[in-house]
Amino acid sequence: MRRPEAVLGITAIFLVGALVGVFLNRVDVPGFGDSESRKIEDALTLIRKRYVDVLSDDELAAAAIQGMVERLDPYSTYIDARTLGPVQDELEGEFGGVGIWFEMVSDSARVVSVIPGGPSEHAGVLAGDRIVAVDDSSCVGEPSRSIQSRIRGPRGEVVRLTIYRPVLSQKLNVSVERAVIPIRSVEAAFRLDDETAYIRLSRFTSGTAEEFRKAVSDLRNAGPLRGLLIDVRNNPGGILEAAVRVSDELLAGGVDIVSTEGRGIEKREVYASSAGGMVEDTPVIILVNSNSASASEILAGAIQDNDRGLVIGQPTFGKGLVQRQFVFGDGSALHLTVARYYTPAGRAIQNDLDRNVPVHAGADTVLARNDSDPADSLLQFTTLHGRILRGGKGIYPDHIPPADSLVNVFELVFRSGLDLGFSRRWFDTREASVRQAWSQEPDRFVDEFRIDDETWQEFVTYTAREAGTVWSRYDASDIALARSRISTLLTARIGQSLFGPQIWFSIVSKVDPDITFARAFWEEASSLPGAPGR
């Protein structure tokens, strides 16, 4: 498998809310010097000398670059020096932090889990603590992203946290030295049954392939693995090479994974698989949705085009442009689109957006703009073994889950956050007793915890009050039929408050309609021309 000199990727989840792409390498840029830049230089000189107010050269240069970038595609961006460092930390899969995972409850941040061996554990922070101030400045009422930004910082520096510990009914001050905290790409990995397993990939960073291999190894140690469901829903992408390496573990040697094509030095480059992949012998299904983008689409496209497995879910976002990072002398950078990438069947993934369409809107929004039936507007391609595929606007799945009234009630609860709001209030009033009963026994919690009739009635009352007319669209029989799924969802939320995200995925997988739908296709995935043993 060919490996480029350096590969970087970025999503504007960390920048401006827009999916941004993959960076092939970093180039240092000297000052302007050619004749075509003379007009820009003259304009800068005039503004510097004659404009009514004084502006710094940094401001003028940044504004000039930003003005040029705005004429390009939505993914070409200018990033100032202060922002660039944290962005690269995210891509490399680590940041300077304190080692906690928290969620917002009402107006404060509640610690859900503490990373074992991390700086917060050493400082005495416990699950259940509320963070009420950072460096002696209150953070009550702030959004989670703001609190996260204040807690993170340069490694080795100390941050002072004021926490409220409910079991003691008192505030405590703790000093925590920031350390390198890994950002996990594998959010969850567990067995769905005796023969199949699930891996959730939330991003593609420099450590993703290693995490993936470890997850597969752990799953195999627990028993035979005859089917692997890889979930990249809501995965915005990241580093191209990470997607290539994960794909390489799934594909037999000598087949194409992805190619890139641009101008000049960014001519056609092909990334191919090598022999000896860790799960070459296991049927695979990739789960996608409209927010699966960039590197996620590379993985899905490689599996689908080589007839290696099935892609199930919703049409993906359609982010198929490659960015290259050019670093200026002051530490700022220009992320410039220099190439497009193509799946092995030659599909250009890029969905032709313009700056009038929010790039975070999702593929469903963009496709709906072009055609009420997306499949009718897509080009046809053939796989390595002759299967007909549609493409050209993201990855079009092999199968799309149907909608039904039972799913609609469940989706209303899930997508509106009604389950989250209720479970947090429920947990908040019972935290001490729930922790005492379950906090050291996650496996027993999964097996035995149930939403009883009293709690269910509390939820119905809460939902009727919060959702109003929307909830009233469903009659009592619809709600009763959905009770089992919704109760499992509430259990997962409570488990998440106790144990963190891993247990959330393991519980909710039992009622996730996309996962349930996908699991019906193992036989088809096993019989594809490129499947193991074919």
- Provide the annotated active-site residues: 294, 305, 319
Closest by CA position to 258, among listed 383, 348, 344, 351: 344
- Give the amino acid at 469: T
Can you state the angle between helices 240-250 and 208-221, rounded to 10 degrees? 30
**318-348 as b/e, with b when 16 or more CB fall inside 10 Å?**
bbbbbbbbbbbeeebbbbbbbbbbbbbbebb
Task: Copy the structure tokens of residue 2.
Answer: 């060919």
CB atoms within 10 A of CB 378: 20
> 170-177 and 179-182 as β-strands: parallel, antiparallel, unpaired?
unpaired
Give φ, ψ of 512 to 5 degrees: -65, 115
> 227-231 and 130-134 as β-strands: parallel, antiparallel, unpaired?
unpaired
> 256-262 and 269-272 as β-strands: parallel, antiparallel, unpaired?
antiparallel
CB atoms within 10 A of CB 433: 9
The SS3 of residue 310 is: strand
Closest by CA position to 110, among listed 95, 131, 94, 126: 131
Closest by CA position to 442, among listed 37, 196, 113: 113
Using CA atoms, how far apart are residues 25 and 270, in angstroms rounded to an integer?
16
Using CA atoms, how far apart are residues 258 and 299, in angstroms rounded to an integer?
9
Residues making up the chain, counted from first to last: 534
Can you state the angle between helices 240-250 and 295-305, rounded to 10 degrees? 30
Using CA atoms, how far apart are residues 380 and 309, in angstroms rounded to an integer?
19
Using CA atoms, how far apart are residues 494 and 427, in angstroms rounded to an integer?
7
Using CA atoms, how far apart are residues 190 and 199, in angstroms rounded to an integer?
7
CB atoms within 10 A of CB 380: 9
> 21-28 and 321-327 as β-strands: parallel, antiparallel, unpaired?
parallel
